[in-house]
Chains A and B, each alone.
Chain A
Amino acid sequence: MQEPTPLGENNRRCSICGAVLPGCTCSPHGLHHKGMSDAASGPALDPPEQEVEEALASLALSPTGIPAEALWYRAGLARERRRANGWRAAAAVALLAAGAAVIWRPKPTMVTVAHVVVVREQATPPAVAPAPPEAAAVDSDAAAPGNQIASASYLRLRDRVLQDGLASLPPAAAGRSDAAPEQRAWPLPNAAGAIESYPKPKYPFIQGG
């Protein structure tokens, strides 16, 4: 866009069309615009009015008296103040958001957490519910330390004897004389002591027989 220059400078312009006055062919200026319907156009200036206009335009304006350094200094201050205001606004918004979060934070609610408890198997057997007397007797025998293996083999042997008779006894236990006294099953080397060392059977028919 062409910007008209002030009339006080070298290139003065027509008051109507804005054309540079030395090159403007209309005399008086604006006469060629009379037929236009543009609102900017209007009655042309008379020569006396043009003369006054040009005389006024020839006057030199007094300087502003505003030092450019002061102007740019103030502008720099204003620009930096505007930036600082931006940071202040951001800090204020953040502060408000933090305050709102503290004020309107959600209340703690009861939360049911399902815990899975893993209990490792312990070395000692857990307590067993009360069993029948026979089972309790067996268990008490088995629970004796050091006699578990012997009790098991004795019980198996006993059950076999009770079921099949003495024939079910192993040959060595039946009286082989070359076997070591400790290895012979029957008769035991110190049968009285061994029988005493065995846990007492709880079966009533054994105790009775």
Chain B
Amino acid sequence: MEPTTPVDVRIRELFVAHGPALLLYARQWLDRAAAQDVVQDVFVRLIAGGRLPAEPRTWLFRCVRNAAISACRSQGRRGRREQRAGRAAAAAGGWFVPRVDDRIDAEAAQEALASLSPGQREVVTLRIWSGLTLAQVAEVTGMPVSTVHDQYRAALKAVRERLEQPCRNPPP
């Protein structure tokens, strides 16, 4: 099946533009393979439905969130997995692709993000890599906007403190 209708073309554009961010968002709860399944299922459902929601981007992130949490619950270890998902991310595959012109180290940034609480990490992921406004982040997460903003600021502060820590293993 090839995208032929305008709706399908638009869905393909959404997949290309927001697929990586959706995958990263789903990986807050799941490992990479399960997160891929969740993202794929959401897009399959959107394509099979044949019509776009009013706000496709918000809809996609909300659906990915619900599906990821549902998948996490089905595995029965949500609390531990949420805490462990970030820490185990490095072993299961990086969140970012390292580049030479990165302003911060990708691996260090991933570790710093993994150290955040699940709520803070979710807000940072949605805000920075999904391009959602704080109001849209609040809509996706179901939190008040003020709470989202507080979480966001606290997360940025925690990441900064984490990145400013001296390296424990200095090069010889």
Contact = CB atoms under 8 A, between A and B. Distances in A.
A56 B109 contact: yes
Interface stretch (A70-78, A126-134, A180-188): A70-78
A53 B156 contact: yes
Contacts of A64: 19-20, 22-23, 36, 39
A206 interface: no
Contacts of A48: 160
Interface residues of B, number: 59
| Central interface residue in A13, A42, A64, A75, by most chain B CB within 10 Å | A64
A61 interface: yes
Contacts of B127: 7, 15
A119 B109 CA distance: 110
Interface residues of A, number: 46
B44 A74 contact: yes
A209 interface: no
Given A58-B102, A60-B96, A49 B153 contact: yes
B131 interface: yes
Interface string A49-66: 101111111111111111
Contacts of B91: none
B131 A13 contact: yes
Contact of A59 (B45, B96, B157): B96
B159 A61 contact: no
| Central interface residue in A39, A63, A76, by most chain B CB within 10 Å | A39
B48 interface: yes
Nearest to B95: A62
A70 B146 CA distance: 40
B93 A59 contact: no
Nearest to B41: A74
Contacts of B156: 45, 49, 52-53
12 contacts: A6-B17, A49-B157, A52-B159, A56-B113, A61-B23, A62-B96, A63-B19, A63-B97, A66-B36, A71-B43, A75-B44, A82-B48
Interface of A: 1, 3-9, 13, 15-16, 18, 39-40, 42-43, 45, 48-49, 51-66, 68, 70-76, 78-79, 82
Given A49-B160, A56-B113, A64-B20, 5 more contacts: A42-B146, A48-B160, A65-B36, A72-B1, A79-B48
Smallest CB-CB A-B distances: 8 pairs: A76-B1, A75-B47, A61-B20, A6-B131, A78-B48, A42-B149, A64-B19, A49-B156
